Structure 1
Amino acid sequence: MIAAEPRLDDDEPVRMTLNERAVWCSVATVVVSSGAYVALMVSRLLSRPAAEISWVGPMLWTMGLAVAGTVLLTIVSTIAAEASRRGGCSPAGRGEVTSDVRDREIGRLGWRASMRVISVGFGGALVLAMLGADTFWIGNLLFLFGTVGAVVEAITKISLYRRGF
């Protein structure tokens, strides 16, 4: 016999899945790390020409820290959610929701939204390359559109998780 899942009342908030929690963590770390990178590059641009600015190392560090930050923040928030659940802050008998049927469709729609943004950035980078622009501008344009694409993907996913299709 298959046990029925507990029925949620309409007034009861929908529990956050592990995937949704990871999206929230990702958007937070991407915004913070990319904001720090942009601030660093703008401060360097104010004092030197773009061709003289070292940007590859800081960009790689920014991307690496965003990934590591997302992983760590997701782990910490999952542990906190589990501790909260066990501490009596959620109804008894309701375990952590790790995934649900919405996750695959939400992931696909979020990815599609980000690809629209990223493809515009790739087109812009191609135009800059054709015009012979400095690699600083090409690399940073790609970084900018990658960041905006990640934020658009996260906002799309969060919206779908919270408001539905």
Structure 2
Amino acid sequence: MSSEEKRSWIYVLVAVSVSAVYFATVLSKVAGADVARIAYVRPMLIAIGAGIGLGIVASIAAAIASPREAGRTDERDRQIHRLGEYVGFYVMSIAAIVPLALTMAQAAHFWIANALYLAFLLAALASSITKIILYRRGF
């Protein structure tokens, strides 16, 4: 497994686990509550920071575990990375319609922020999963 494929797996695992904890924590408070009073900003910032930090730490750990492969890329890796990023871009472009529509409908900031966070999550997952599929099935 190449280092780029490992990074994609790390990104999927970190993104899913951190966002699952965030959404479980924040959305558990929604039932019967005024969403304007739910403190979501700090947990969201913590989730974003934890995702970035855990991704960096896990990538460094993977590079230390297999130092020969770390940083080595070839043309196939670059093409897979580019295609994965294109997929992520298109998913983000489509998913961003939801927070935009919520803003136009003057929805609560809670829903707009969480829809935008979900759009970023979906884009990251689509990008990483595309890369994993291309590595596994061939490019």
TM-score, structure 1 normalization: 0.78
Matches within 5 A, 1:2-151: 16-46=1-31, 48-82=33-67, 95-96=68-69, 98-151=72-125
Is the radius of gyration larger for structure 1 or structure 2? 1
How many percent of aligned residue pairs carry the same amino acid?
A: 37
3-state DSSP class of the match of 2:28?
helix
Is the 1:115–1:149 contact (alpha carbons within 8 Å) kept by the matching residues of 2?
Answer: yes
From the superposition, tell whether residues 122 and 96 of structure 1 become closer, same or farther in structure 2 (CA, over 3 Å).
closer
Separation in 2, partners of 1:154, 1:124:
22
Residue type at the aligned position of 1:102: R
Q: Which has the higher helix share?
A: 2
Residue type at the aligned position of 1:107: H
Kindly tell me the number of residue pairs found equivalent between the two proteins. 138
> Which runs of at least 4 in structure 1 moved beyond 3 Å after TM superposition?
none
Query: 1:47 offset after TM fit, Å?
Result: 5.0
Residue type at the aligned position of 1:96: E
Separation in 1, partners of 2:35, 2:131:
36
What stretches of structure 1 of length at least 5 have no aligned partner? 1-15, 83-94
Instruction: Spell out, residue by residue over 1:41-83, the C-alpha distance to the aligned partner (whole angstroms, 9 max, x if none).
Output: 121112522111111111111111111101111111222234x
Q: Which has the higher contact order (CA 8 A, sep 6+)?
A: 2
TM-score, structure 2 normalization: 0.91
Residue type at the aligned position of 2:124: A
Residue type at the aligned position of 2:69: E
Instruction: Spell out, residue by residue over 1:137-162, the C-alpha distance to the aligned partner (whole angstroms, 9 max, x if none).
Output: 01100111111111111110011112
Query: 1:108 offset after TM fit, Å?
Result: 1.3
